[in-house]
Structures are given as C-alpha cells and as structure tokens.
Chains A and B, each alone.
Chain A
C-alpha cells in the first residue's frame, strides 16, 4: 500500500472520527442525554397522540 493510500485512508478515518466526536458533543449540548421522556414522546403529536393506533388491515375500515 503506497504512502498516498495511507494518508488518504487515515485522513478520511480522522475526519469521520472527528465528526462522531462532534456529533456526541452536539447531542449533549442539545440536552438529548438529559430528557429521555421528551425523546421517546417526540414522535407523537396532537393528531397521532399517545394512545392512538395508526395501522390496520384495509377491510377493517369502510
């Protein structure tokens, strides 16, 4: 493996690694690790609230 390949591969690896680190820092800053209830409920809203099922076989509806 040539030196160029080494530099390229390690460079990309470092870049990706750094992006992971940045992502974790950003998530912490945004409080993602401190409010898990908010996280779990974030996919619900007034229209599809907690408690409402959202899928059924087609002929169970008219």
Chain B
C-alpha cells in the first residue's frame, strides 16, 4: 500500500494539504484525508467549543440565580449587579452569544471543512475570531451587570461590544467563503446551504438592528417591529440553520444511511428561508403596531408548518428501522432528541401566533417555556450531540466515561422536558388568571368542567370588581417557579458532567482512538447493533 497509514491522528501534525491535491489520489486516501481534515480543525474548533462550554456553565449559574430570584426575590437581594433585571439578561446573552453562538460556529467550521473535503487553512483567522468573540461576550455581559444594558432584549450589549462580535463573525464568514472557494470537486451538500444562509444573513440582521434601533434609531414603535424581526431571526438565520445543518449531516453519518429524501431537504430549506423571516411580529400580537403586520407574521408563522413538516418527515424516514442505534450512540441520542423537539416546538410556535391562542399565553411563563424548548431542547441538545461526535475526532482521544455521558443525557433530557411541561402549566395558570378579571379561576374551572373541579387548588378571592387580584396570580405561579428551579439544578448537573468530560478529553485523559476511523468490535451488543461486516478501518 502506498498510502500513508496513520496510527494516531496527532502524527498528521505536519501533513501537507497539498499532498491531497491530486483528486485521483484522494479517492484512495479518504481515511487519511478525513483524519487530516479533523486534525487540522483541532485548534480553531476546540477554541470555539471550549469557550462555548465555559460560557454554558456561567450561563447556567446566571439562569439559576434568575430562576431563584423569581420565587425568592430577597435571595442575594442587596447586590445591585445581581438584581433580577440585570442577571436575567446576563443569562440570556451568555447562553445565546456565549454558549449557543460559539458551539454553532465551531460546528460550522468543522462541517465546512468536512463537506468541502479540504483541511482547514488559515487557522489563525478563526482563533482570532474566537478570541474576539470571547472578548465581545465578556465585555458585554460585564456591561449589562454593571448597569449599562441597552434595554433591548437580545441586543443588550453596548454597541461597541456588538461591533467586536460582528468582526469576529465576519472573520468566520470570510473564512467560510474562502474555504468553499478552495473546495475539492464534488457535490455541495444541503448542510452547506444552511451554513451559507447563516454566513450571509446573520451579519445583515445584526447590523440592521444595531443601526436602526440603537445607533440611529427609527421613531417610535417601528423599533419594536425591527427589534423582534431581529430577535426571531437570531433563531431563524443563525441557530436553526446551524442546528438543521448539523442534524442533516450527523444522522446519516452515524447510522450510515443517506437522507431519505434529499429533494425534501432542499425544499425545506427554501420554504424556511421564505417564511421564517416574516414571523417576527408574532412577538407583538395585540400590541400597538399596525394590524397588517401582526396578521402577516401570523400567516407566515403558520406557513412554517411546511418546512417543519418536511424536515420531520425526512428525519423520521431516515431514522426508520434504525432507532435501535440510539442505544449505542451518544451523538444520535442528543441529535434525535433535538430533531424531534424541533418539530414539537415549531408546531407550538406556529399555533401560538394565532391571536386567540396567543392572548392567554402572551406575557407569561408559557412563552419562556417555549423559548427554552427551542433554544435548549432543540438547538442545545443538537450541539451536545455534535460535540460528542466531533471532539474525539479532533483530539484523537475517546470520551473518558460512558457513565458521565449517560448522566449528561438523562439529566438534561429529563430536565428540559420537565421544565417545559411544568413551566408551561404555570404559565397557563398565570395567563388564564390574568385574562379573567370577571371570575376567579376556580369558579371558571368548576363551571366549564375543565378538571374534576373542586376548585380547591385555585383558591382565589374576589376583588370589588371581581377580578383575580394580581398578587393572587403571583402567588399561584410561585410553586411552578420553584419546580422550574429544581429542573434547572438537574440541567446544571448535566452540564457539569459534560464540562468534566470535555476537560478530561482536552487534557489528555481517555483511551486513544484507534486509527483514523474508530472501531473495534469486541462486544456482542456492539456487533449486533453495528453489524458483523469487516470494519473498513481494518482494511488498510
């Protein structure tokens, strides 16, 4: 065999990308090429992933503080920098721009290299981007805690911090385009469509909101239309596309089966691109903005059923017959959990933009539960799955402990499911009571027969005009907020398990991976799940 055989990916340190320039040669050398690609991604991607996990821990601490303060406001109540109104946006911005963004950019970089089939070039540009991004987030969060928030949700960082983030993102975008221009001949995979949507459109939406709402603000409530066009696009042209790109690559790769209908995936992409952008004003239903705006956003939010259903069918049909692999693959567990949640949360979101369904839940914890289902149940779980797949291939080291992986999975899966379901109930109680000024909820329940209706649980008392007093609403919501804090602690446990695993892997503890691809096949269960054919890794 004339191809170089790599026992440990680390030995490809000085592997010259030019060695793979010959297209014919690369056909024989797929394994070493893939190892070289993974090895070359190591520095930049681990910068992003390591930073992301650090921000995840910090963001979860802020989350716990915010959650506790909602039911126990005097907890650490004298420190100005920890007041709920500062700690809550600090949590949002750290988990959005710290954890979610950096995890996503790390995936984007690795996916781009894998799908272009070239090793990563100009790592310095990406490391600079990661450093800039960390500086931007750290300074932004510090500013928020110090009382210098802009007051615009999702855009709380002072503009100079946002500018630093913008530069960092632009560097990644430019790198992405250059890498694509230098790609090896072959098909462009659907994931790359999603990634390019992110590269081109996120800077546009971010710059728009900065200019039109903060730097040279438009007059009056139009600010809020632009604000929520941006807020929804952080999901629509940043996190969702990266999440979907990752799912479209990892499910087929892990189970060894192509996407069921590639055509559907392209259709899904374009319909998502058309409709997602328009949905922003569903954050402002019944608000003081032109009615046509809300209507159009509600219509397009409902139209989102098309791409979401398309995607759900595609994922399910691809997975059909292979659900057994979930027992053996950490990546697949997290990614499939995320993919299923994507369907659920999108359907819920579409329905909630209809006015009659919006009125009881607007301004309540129900919305918060929905937001967490999307950004955590879908996107974060997919990112976890991606990291479980990617990191060992970069470091050449396997994860140190199956037990910790299982702890991570069950703690976060149960945590987010419980949080979503129970906080939604709390939000529904809050919303129904807020919208029924005429009668206390207990009476309504008895009359409408929604439950067996002793009304005991909903002890309300009548005000002079019969409204459910606001403080009664607060009182009735508190038990659900306590439960939410509990689910938050569970999720925190999962995050700590993951952080420990990452730390162990990055500092060299853990069994070495064998060869450029990974297997041995010594256990019965493994053989049953993975088939008994000779592993390709053993043929060279």
Contact = CB atoms under 8 A, between A and B. Distances in A.
Please determine whether chains A and B interact with each other in the same assembly.
yes
Interface of A: 1-2, 5, 9, 12-13, 16, 19-20, 23, 27, 30, 32-33, 35-62
Interface in B215-256: 216, 218, 249, 252-256
Question: What range describes how many residues of B lie at the interface?
Answer: 35 or more
A3 B325 CA distance: 58
A28 to B, nearest CB: 11
Interface stretch (B150-158, B278-286, B481-489, B518-526): B518-526
Contact of B255 (A33, A38, A53, A59): A53
B520 A62 contact: yes
B204 interface: yes
B57 interface: no
Nearest to A48: B517
Interface of B: 27, 30-31, 34, 114-115, 186-190, 196, 200-201, 204, 207-208, 211-212, 216, 218, 249, 252-259, 261-263, 266, 325, 328-332, 388-389, 398-402, 405, 510-511, 514, 516-523, 525-526, 529-531, 533, 535-537
A37 B517 contact: no
Contacts of B257: 50-51
A33 B265 CA distance: 11
B256 A47 contact: no
A47 B328 contact: no
Given A19-B200, A33-B266, A45-B30, A60 B216 contact: no
B266 A54 contact: no
Contacts, number: 150
Most chain B C-beta atoms within 10 Å of own C-beta, residue among A13, A44, A51, A61: A61
Given A51-B531, A58-B398, A39 B190 contact: yes
Nearest to A41: B258
14 contacts: A5-B211, A33-B266, A39-B188, A40-B252, A47-B517, A48-B256, A53-B254, A55-B389, A56-B519, A56-B526, A58-B511, A60-B526, A61-B398, A62-B522
Given A58-B398, A61-B518, A52 B329 contact: no
Contacts of B405: 57-58
A30 B188 contact: yes
B188 A32 contact: yes
B332 A38 contact: no
